[in-house]
Structure 1
Amino acid sequence: TFSAWAEIFGDPIAVAALVDRLVHHSEVLVLRGESYRLKGKGKEVLSDGDDR
């Protein structure tokens, strides 16, 4: 979600400006449910997120 971007980038004012420009004249789709790209993969993919 956009609310976590300030923690990731460290500058909430710059993030607000960036998000404003990204979503201006756009539609934000919130998708819920299981990820299609992870379908068929083992549960280890979901639990092993420390490699990034």
Structure 2
Amino acid sequence: WDLYAQAIAQLGPVPTLIERDNDIPAFDVLLAEARQAERILQAARGDARVEHA
């Protein structure tokens, strides 16, 4: 998650896909990871809004 946070800090809060290939964890693990990613995005976003095309 440190690398993800660094990337978001440099790129801004952009849509992200984390590739898993065939190693997909249980749903509760995925949900926890999605929440972690959302916290990182919110921290990077601050008060700024991102406009999507």
TM-score (norm 1): 0.36
Larger relative contact order (Cα-Cα within 8 Å, sequence gap ≥ 6): 2
| Structure exhibiting the larger radius of gyration computed from Cα positions | 1
TM-score (norm 2): 0.36
